Every structure is written in C-alpha cells, then in structure tokens.
Structure 1
Amino acid sequence: MSKSLLQQLREMTVVVADTGDIEAIEKAKPQDATTNPSLITTAAQMPQYQSIVDGVLLDAHKQLGDSATDKDVANLAFKHLAIEFGKKILAVIPGRVSTEVDARLSYDTEGTIKMAHDIIGLYEGAGISRKRILIKIASTWEGIRAAEQLEKEGIHCNLTLLFGLHQAIACAEAGVTLISPFVGRILDWYKKDTGKDYKGADDPGVQSVTKIYNYFKKFGYKTVVMGASFRNTGEITELAGCDLLTISPQLLGELDSTQGDLPRKLDPEKAKSLEIEKLTIDKATFDKMHEADRMAHDKLKEGIEGFSKALESLEQLLAKRLAELESRESKLVSAD
C-alpha cells in the first residue's frame, strides 16, 4: 500500500501542529505544536475548553483579590491562559510547544526578556522543563536581541513573523534555536501587490524559505528553519525536507488523505555546494534591508498589529466571561 504525503513528509521533516485545539493535536499526532494569540483566542471560545478558561480566570481573581477590576483579572488571566493550553498540549505530544510573548512588546527588548522569564517560570513551576518550551518572539531587531540573551540563559526561542533574509540571518547570528518564516503571508502580499497567482516552486513564500534554508545549511548555522503559515498543500510539498513545518489541522488532514510520490526538495548536502554570498547583519544593515524589502516591512508591521489586536480581543473575551462567572456566583449566594 502506498504511503500518504504526510507519512512521506514525516520521513524527512519534523511535522508540527499549528493550532491551540488540543483535540486536533491528539488526532494529528505531531512531534511539536505551535500557538499564537489568534489561535489561543479561537480555542478559548470553543465549548470544550471553557473549563480551562474558567479555571484560569478564577485563579487570577483569587490571586489579585476582590478589589481588582475585571480588566486587571483578564489581563493577568490571558498571560496564564497560553501556558494552560501549553501544558495540556505538552501532555499529548512528545516534543515542544511554542508560547508567544505579548506582541505589544515586540520593540521592547527588556520587556520581552521579562515576560519570557515569567512564561518559563510558570512552566517550571508546573514541573515542565524549559527544554520543552520555545518562547515565540517577533523578528524585530529588538526581539532578536532579547532572544540572543535568552538563548545564553538556556531559554530556547522561536522567532516568528519572519519574512526577509535579513531577519533570518540576524536570528542565526544571534544563536536563536528556531525561526518561523511565514510562507502563506508572503504569498498573500505578492498576490495583492502584483494581481498574479503563484503555484508550486514559483510561490514567493516557498522561494523565501528555500533561500533561507540553503543559506543556513551552506554556512553551517545551528538555527533550524520551520516553515509556517501555509495556504495550500502545494506550498508544503515544495518544502519537503525543511527542518520543520508547522501545519494547520485542515492541511494535515489533506496531506494524510492524499497518495502520491513526495520527492525531497530541500537538502542540506545540496545547499553546501551552492554559490551563496555571505552577509553580516548589524543594526544599520538590518534597518536598510528592512526598509528596502517592502513585503517584509509591511507584513512584519501588519503581523504585530494583528497579534496585538487578537490579544486585546482575548482580554475583552476574558473580562466578559469573568463578569458572567461573578453574576452566576452572586445568584448562587442569593439563592442560599
């Protein structure tokens, strides 16, 4: 019996689930899992996870006391919610989970380091080793500097919202564990900018990840590449052989139900023989390349704003849920 595309992909690439839905992760059986504010917000609204949300809210309320406002409680709760989902996810996967720092700290090196310490502290307080956690940080210059410091402390980082080669090289030179170049969002930008559609190896998102992968393997960087944000299975099959790929449950299902031959597209040995110019990225070069790359400039800004908005939506959702819990509790007290 022939193997599915997913079975073949697993033989050359570490498959990661891109979701906050624990049931979907159990079904997909990935090595690792990634979450982000949008995914956690979606999962928090699913009925099957309401008990997790309520538990986090009640703990935050207890921690802050009765004098705290619903907004204060919601703000504390959202920080703990991603960790609660992370803990549940780690119970069903053998590998690591990525948990994201507040996107509103993307240009704040010290703030990012502090929140990363808080996240690791909460996991370690629950008996989970930092080896199983990747701290997700936006690939701004300030975020990369925070990751460089955290890596020196044995805290592993996943640099996200990565769209340009300058971001990737800066991450590798900082000794970051893993980067997540966003394939689908790059495709979105080019389709909108040019009015053209792209398929297979012509997809600019696929080309970007291929270029980054070959650069890292050519020059022997330890930083690994995890393609992310896919729009279709064609993008995934074009990146077969990439170190890791983080894939939504829907696309994992499509790959699992599709038969056919899956050739390896990215190969570390082939990359070593390529003619590639070595670059050094200091802040001035980073800023210059970032300004020159309209796509990377636009998508990084848009991504940070989008994740920040998702966090604000989550805080509002939590404040509303807390008010409902308090109303229910007060009715129970009155009934007694």
Structure 2
Amino acid sequence: MEFFVDTADLEAIAELNALGLVDGVTTNPSLVKKVGRDFKELIAEICALVDGPVSAEVISVDAEGMLQQGRTLAGIAPNVVVKLPLTLAGLQVCKTLSGEGIATNVTLCFSANQALLAAKAGATYISPFIGRLDDIHIDGVDLISNIRTIYDNYQFETKILAASIRSPLHVKDCALIGADVITAPPPVISALANHVLTDNGLKTFLADAKSAGITI
C-alpha cells in the first residue's frame, strides 16, 4: 500500500518525507487556502520536494475549462496528477487527458457506479471519500470493498486511493480490503506508529538499562 499525505503544508510534507513515509501528496483548494500560498508556485515546490505523484485540482466545472487547467497543471512538473471532479464533464476531460498520457485523479467519489465510470474513463486514481460517507451514516470502507471487487472483476488498472481518512482504524480497514493507496492528514499518518504497549515497554526497557548500567 502507498501512503499519500493529504496536505499543502510544506513543512509537514518534508517531515514525513524525511522519515520515508511519503509516496505522494494530495491537495485540494481547501488545503491550499489554509496555507495562503500562490497555487501554482506551491504545487511546483511540493513536486520538487517529493518524488511521487502530487495531485493538483482544477477549479473549473465545465469541460473546456477543466481541460485547459488540467494541461496547465500537468505542465508544472512531471509528477503532477490532475485532479478532476466526478461529474460527466470531469469524466470527459479524464478520458482526454489520459489519452494524452497525463495522470489523473478523479475525486469526490461516493458510489461504486461512479468508480466504475472513472475506470472506464481511464483514470489513474479514483478517490472515494470514506470519512464523509461515515459522517452521513454510510459505511465508507464498504465502498472501498465494492470498488475493489468491481475493479478486480474487470482488471481495471485504476488505483483505489482511499481519501477522507479520519483515523488509523480507517487505514487498517482499507489495507485489509486492498485499497492501493490511502491519503491522510499528517497527524493520522504519524499516529499509525502509536501504541500504549509500545510506550510502556520502551519505558520499562530504558529504566532497566539505566539501573543495570548498560552503555553502548
């Protein structure tokens, strides 16, 4: 499973990247708004910081506008992935950009049928938002399972990028089901290393090492 960090915070990306825990980055207009930076300059800096794919989202809703913006974003760096909304216009642009060899991430997916359409349009990634489904009392992880079954049935190459990850439990469940990628905020990725028994065990080992006079 690949880990993408869902943020536009360069410092947080650099910190996780230095630990070897970042395979890619996803951004969206809301995340960019939080850091208050020029959008294209920020994407260029993120792309220079990490080797993996960096999703950058179009802001047009019509096909012509999305196509123009998608090509502009793809020109920023070779590892840009153009993020498109799961609308009919977005799928049309996905098909065109994919045919031009431009990587795409179809976002705001909330149903298996939507994911099927994205795969048929040649999307590189499909982003089901599991946390937002949980918010309205629909099992978001179950959607990942359904998409996995459909994609395996027909050998679609589109990667399942589980998004709107809220907790380490989401990460575990997505890994068990077979999501190709998860994208999560930095605190969620960092929290994957945490366990109270690890903390307690380390405390005991260090205390025993001190009392035994162990040096290295």
Match of residue 14, structure 2, among 20, 26, 30: 26
Superposed displacement of residue 24, structure 1: 0.6
Q: Which residue of 2 aligns with 1:224?
A: 159
- Per-residue CA deviations over 1:257-286 (Å, capped at 9, x if unaligned) read 2389xxxxxxxxxxxxxxxxxxxxxxxxxx
Q: Which residue of 1 aligns with 2:171?
A: 236
Q: Does 1:94 align with 2:51?
A: yes
Q: Which residue of 2 aligns with 1:110?
A: 64
Q: Which residue of 2 aligns with 1:84?
A: 41
- Per-residue CA deviations over 1:173-204 (Å, capped at 9, x if unaligned) read 111111110010010112xxxxxxxxxxxx70
In 2, are the aligned partners of 1:158 and 1:176 still within 8 Å (CA)?
yes
Q: Which residue of 1 aligns with 2:33?
A: 41
Q: Which residue of 2 aligns with 1:149?
A: 96
Matched residues, number:
191
In 2, are the aligned partners of 1:82 and 1:99 still within 8 Å (CA)?
no
Letter in 1 for 2:160: V
Letter in 1 for 2:185: S
Superposed displacement of residue 156, structure 1: 1.1
TM, length-normalised to structure 1: 0.55
Match of residue 166, structure 1, among 113, 116, 138: 113
Q: Does 1:250 align with 2:187?
A: yes
Distance 1:259 1:27, change over 3 A: farther
Q: How does 1:152-301 map to 2 (within 5 A)?
A: 152-190=99-137, 204-240=139-175, 241-258=178-195
Q: Using the alignment, how far apart are the partners of 2:71 and 2:42 within structure 1?
A: 18
Distance 1:249 1:146, change over 3 A: same
Letter in 1 for 2:2: V
Q: Which runs of 5+ in 1 are unaligned?
A: 1-12, 45-52, 54-80, 191-202, 261-336
Bigger strand fraction: 2
TM, length-normalised to structure 2: 0.84
Identity %: 32
Larger Rg: 1
In 1, are the aligned partners of 2:165 and 2:182 still within 8 Å (CA)?
no
Compute the RMSD of aligned alpha carbons: 1.5
- Per-residue CA deviations over 1:209-234 (Å, capped at 9, x if unaligned) read 11112211221001111000012221
Q: Using the alignment, how far apart are the partners of 2:80 and 2:195 within structure 1?
A: 32
Q: Using the alignment, how far apart are the partners of 1:93 and 1:258 within structure 2?
A: 28
Q: Using the alignment, how far apart are the partners of 2:146 and 2:191 within structure 1?
A: 26
Superposed displacement of residue 252, structure 1: 0.8
SS of 1:239 mapped into structure 2: helix
SS of 2:51 mapped into structure 1: coil
Q: Which runs of 5+ in 2 are unaligned?
A: 198-216
Letter in 2 for 1:97: V
Distance 1:218 1:150, change over 3 A: same
Instruction: Pick 1 or 2: higher relative contact order, CA cutoff 8 A, min separation 6.
Output: 1
